Amino acid sequence: MHVVPAPPSRNEPTSPLPGGAEVLASADTPAPGAVHAAPQPQASPPTEPAPGAREQARSFNPVPFGLREKVRAFMTRHGKKLWWLHSIYALCLGTGVVLFAQKGFDQARFLAVSAGGAWMLVLLFFRLHGSGKGQASIEGAETKTKLRFYAMTYALKNLYQGMLFFLLPFYWKSTTLDSKNGWFILLIGACAILSTLDVIMDRVLLKWVALASVFHAVALFGCMNLIVPALFPNTRTLYSLMIAAGVTTIAFWTMHLELSAYKKKGVLLAILASAGLMVGLVYWGRTAIPPVPMHLSRASVGPMTLADGRLAMEVRVLHPSVIQQLQAVTDVVVPGGRGDRLRHVWRHDGNEVVRANEETSRVEGPQGTVRLRSRLSGDNLPANLIGNWSVDVETEDGQLVGRTAFLVAE
């Protein structure tokens, strides 16, 4: 039997090789002449557990969650969906406000409470939460901060929705869409819809004080045009516009200035100067703003009138050969009182033909309205009658209350 010598220890010298080369002897390097041990059989691969055993191994007892964790997980998963559902709900609520506003102008005085509350709340909101990049993130904020943020934004959105949707029917009635004042109802309507979109209100308008101040200015200006005649009946519409412009300008600056800034005389003078500038701008552009709350309830043109002042027939299209005279009768509803004097302006293809003031054209009409009747005949009739005609009802300051149109064609 051949005995395999034990491998040299690490302290033993290396074995010489021919040519003077040396290698280190180790346990992994068999010595010359050593007999190789038989290879050990490999272990068999682990057997696959049965399906039932695998399912049993994967099963575990669920970790119980508290009510707060469940609510938080639900809001994290469905928060955006709930935002949009609330927006749809707010839009439906706004429709209800529109229907409520149609009950009468007497409810307009409550706008003073809503406008004042929204003004104070939006000031407090930006004082507490800041603006733009300086506004603290709500995601990682404390629970009290989150509750305060969402409570204030929810209250602001409800106030704006109530104010703007309440304005819609009044401005709709006073607006002539094909005139210069047609844009304002679109602006009020766009702001009303924006107030129902929680994502835009929370992440855009109520994040930046500059945007919020413009949005608030539009809502406040629109409200003030109704608040002034509601609280002070028989106020001239132009005066209501100028008061609304002044109040809105002051409210705008309060959202941008700290309390300490008002101690400086220069700041107060700048605010007053800007308010005066805005009043002048509104006076100059008064014809582009509807004269709320006045609106035209009935307007028509015909060849003759009855004994009670109504037209015997109303025409929309007529031949020039049958025209001997034309009469226009209009009824203007004045829920805010009779603070304005009205007039008829006849126009042919956009050119003024004749103007009839209230002193000469006012006749008795239904209660709560001002009925005007004017006539176009004789020397007032132009030689060429063919074309588009209109009779505008305007205030003495040039604001368009309403219009009736007719066509003369061959």
Least confident stretch, 146-155, 187-196, 302-311: 302-311
Residues 166 and 101: their CA atoms lie apart, in Å, by: 6
Q: Are residues 144 and 202 in the same domain?
A: yes
Q: Are residues 157 and 246 in the same domain?
A: yes
- Nearest-5° Cα angle at 370, 317 to 235: 130
254 or 94, higher pLDDT = 254
* pLDDT attached to residue 19: 45
134 or 353, higher pLDDT = 353
* pLDDT attached to residue 104: 72
Is 380 contained in some domain? Answer: yes
* pLDDT attached to residue 14: 47
Is 146 contained in some domain? Answer: yes
* pLDDT attached to residue 27: 45
* pLDDT attached to residue 407: 94
* pLDDT attached to residue 192: 93
Nearest to 356 by CA among 319, 409, 393: 393
127 or 101, higher pLDDT = 127
* pLDDT attached to residue 239: 96
Q: Are residues 115 and 185 in the same domain?
A: yes
pTM metric for this prediction: 0.76
Q: Which two tokens stand for residue 265?
A: 């005389």
- The domain that contains 312 carries what CATH number? 2.60.40.10
Residue 15 host element (H or E): strand 15-16
Report for 14-23, 142-151, 386-395: range of highest mean pLDDT = 386-395
Q: Are residues 210 and 333 in the same domain?
A: no
Is 164 a residue whose pLDDT tops 90?
yes
* pLDDT attached to residue 61: 53
* pLDDT attached to residue 39: 53
Nearest to 160 by CA among 186, 125, 124, 188: 188
**Could you tell me the residue range of the domain that residue 333 belongs to?**
295-408
